[in-house]
Amino acid sequence: MCRFLQEAATEHAALLGVAVEDLVESGVAWVLSRLSLKVDAWPEFDDEIVISTWPEAVNRLVTERRFEIASRQGATLGTAATLWFVLDLDRRRPVRLPAAVVEALSKHELGDRPARPNELAAPGASDREVNFQVRRSDLDRAGHANNTSYVEWAMEAVPDDVWTNEDLCRLEVAYLAECHRGQTVASRSQLLPAVQSHELRHQIFRRDDSVEVARAWSKWCERR
């Protein structure tokens, strides 16, 4: 689902005149800093879904983009919101939105206050930890691990009984640092005490230098 969201965002950015390729040629790139996904019903194999996406708000540093996920019949399956900034590929640090991006987005009626989500808590004592090596297939056009790979790494640390018997219904991810090909990353999770639905705290860090690269929180609901 996160790959579908990314593809929709990429295509719409190109329609708006702020394509990924154009930014990379200018020495900068879009970088996802926050993902919020809510799923009410997961599509089944071979179902057709429709993803609608639009920029919601923008300031000098951050752009908020929202999504709606629907069935072919028009029933809402879920929603998502993302926050993006622009990364200078040489200095590897966030910069103000380029003038071309500001001009392109100014043609649309957008808010000027992108969402400011709460900070996610890191796991306490982890219940599960899995290690991975960053592969070529994890990389995006800017040369760092794609945001969808972080989600995959987080999901691998979900306990087997939760993964087998429940469905993911909420996911929050805070992207904190880059990962590059050949680096080893560790994904760990903590299962919180459950009353009705299970919740997990996630943390991903680079083994090489112990830098935390992402935090996440997931909520799991009864399978329908």
What is the C-alpha separation between 171 and 125, in angstroms, rounded?
Answer: 20
> What global pTM score does this model have?
0.93
Task: Indicate if the pLDDT at residue 21 is higher than 90.
Answer: no
Percent of the chain with pLDDT over 90: 77
Residue 99 burial by CB count (10 A; 0-12/13-18/19+): exposed, middle or buried?
Answer: exposed
79 in Cβ contact with 35 (< 8 Å): no
Mean pLDDT computed over 205-215: 96
**68-96: per-residue pLDDT in tens?**
999 999 999 999 999 999 988 888 888 99
**146-176: per-residue pLDDT in tens?**
999 999 999 999 999 999 999 999 999 999 9
Task: Indicate if the pLDDT at residue 100 is higher than 90.
Answer: no
What is the C-alpha separation between 120 and 163, in angstroms, rounded?
Answer: 22
Delineate the domains of the chain, giving CATH numbers in brackets. 2-105 (3.10.129.10), 128-222 (3.10.129.10)
Question: Across all residues in the chain, what is the average pLDDT?
Answer: 93
Q: Are strands 63-71 and 49-58 parallel, antiparallel or unpaired?
A: antiparallel
Q: Say which residues have a Cβ less than 8 Å from residue 92's Cβ, sequence separation at least 6.
A: 178
DSSP, res 72:
T
Task: Indicate if the pLDDT at residue 224 is higher than 80.
Answer: no
Length of the chain: 224
